[in-house]
Structure 1
Amino acid sequence: MGKILCFIYEEMVDFEMTLACHLLNREIVCIAYEKKVIKSKSGIRYYPMATVKDALDFTDVEALIIPGGFNDEQRQELTDLIQNLNNKGKLLAAICAGTQYLARAGVLQGKMYTTVLTQEKLREFFPLTLEDPFPRETYVNKHVVKDQNIITALGNAFIDCRNT
């Protein structure tokens, strides 16, 4: 069985990834732009096992998980990794604002998806961002959306909302 990559970054919302990683019960490899301590929104510190550039050379990857968070730095190596995995039909899962990385990589084009980043929220959280990376015509207002190899979810999608 292949690796599950989890992209970690400063101020990520780590609770969004922990349940998913726990339920997978597989080898999870945390990756980041640099091998240095990453502080999450909760204050917990993580240390990546590899860089995103390292992950480009991995041959046994099954999926990439991207938790939410309001850090919009996207380097070319992450875009390359997302596009490479998408071209191979590997699972791409993004939670809450983590969907921005898939959108910037262009893999949401023609795919249904969900995100917390409405156009209004995008302007609120990322006022310096010049353009909306999301293909709004395929946005779906649901907790979880799966379209082929891409799963997107809101940050609270693990909560059963039927009785609220």
Structure 2
Amino acid sequence: MAAQILMLVGDFVEDYEVMVPFQALQMIGHTVHAVCPNKKSGEFVRTAVHDFEGDQTYSEKPGHRFTLNATFAEINPASYDALVIPGGRAPEYIRLNADVINIVQHFANANKPIAAICHGAQLLAAAGAVRGKRCSAYPACGPEVTAAGGQYVDVPVTEAVVDGNLVTAPAWPAHPRWLAEFLKVLGTRIEHAELLRV
């Protein structure tokens, strides 16, 4: 059964971490509504590309414009089955919005599936949604997870951590594992067909 999924974004959300799940989840039949505080459907957020190039932390480059397909002020969290929180710089500032915090708390308190990646843990921590949970994130967010009562789990950048309804990962290289685990939590089953070469 198709799920109704809410995605919380903001300016300078990480490019891959918004584009890939937004498109992939729709590809398999789920509805994904991407919203940003104080913005409407048809408006856009700017994205940032975070890369791992051998420096002590990620590098950052301009990304694409990502078009929102729903209006933040009109959404009702109760009408959604799951929540996705991409990383980048957006979680750092959208967590200052009380409505955003209330939305995250709705999903956490209702035990609905939540998928967060990279800096998305900053928003989870601000909403109290990691208390008592095992959680991965970009390593620099680990102290925030711990301070919010969660257990930060340091895993390879290609891995994901699942704790009940919560699926987290350190960064976009984990997309294959993170999305696969999120689909399991959603109860989505993909039947594989044999590929034939002609």
TM-score by length of 1: 0.79
2:4 alignment partner in structure 1: 3
Q: Tell me how far 1:159 sits from its aligned partner.
A: 6.2
* Matching of residue 33 in structure 1 with residue 37 in structure 2: yes
1:19 alignment partner in structure 2: 20
Aligned residues between the structures: 148
Structure 2 CA distance for aligned equivalents of residues 14 and 6 of structure 1: 14
Q: Tell me how far 1:17 sits from its aligned partner.
A: 3.3
Structure 1 CA distance for aligned equivalents of residues 139 and 84 of structure 2: 18
2:104 alignment partner in structure 1: 82
Task: Name the amino acid aligned to 1:99.
Answer: A
Q: Tell me how far 1:20 sits from its aligned partner.
A: 2.7
1:149 alignment partner in structure 2: 165
Show structure 1 runs of 4+ deviating over 4 A. Answer: none
Q: Is the Cα–Cα contact under 8 Å of residues 139 and 154 in structure 2 kept in the other structure?
A: no
Q: Tell me how far 1:3 sits from its aligned partner.
A: 1.3
2:52 alignment partner in structure 1: none
Q: Which moved more, 1:41-50 or 1:60-69?
A: 41-50
Q: Residues 64, 116 of structure 1: CA spacing in aligned structure 2 closer, same or farther, 3 A cutoff?
A: same
Task: Name the amino acid aligned to 2:46.
Answer: K
Q: CA RMSD in A?
A: 2.2
Structure 1 CA distance for aligned equivalents of residues 20 and 89 of structure 2: 20
* Matching of residue 115 in structure 1 with residue 137 in structure 2: yes
Over the matched positions of the two proteins, sequence identity in percent amounts to: 26
Structure 1 CA distance for aligned equivalents of residues 105 and 87 of structure 2: 19
As a proportion of its length, which structure holds more helix? 2
Q: Is the Cα–Cα contact under 8 Å of residues 17 and 65 in structure 1 kept in the other structure?
A: no
Task: Identify unmatched segments of 5+ residues in structure 2.
Answer: 49-61, 178-198
Greater C-alpha radius of gyration: 2
The DSSP-based 3-state class of the residue aligned with 2:63 is: coil
Task: Name the amino acid aligned to 2:81.
Answer: E
Q: Tell me how far 1:58 sits from its aligned partner.
A: 4.2
Task: Identify unmatched segments of 5+ residues in structure 1.
Answer: 123-131
Structure 1 CA distance for aligned equivalents of residues 63 and 140 of structure 2: 26
Q: Residues 2, 157 of structure 1: CA spacing in aligned structure 2 closer, same or farther, 3 A cutoff?
A: closer
Q: Is the Cα–Cα contact under 8 Å of residues 97 and 117 in structure 1 kept in the other structure?
A: no
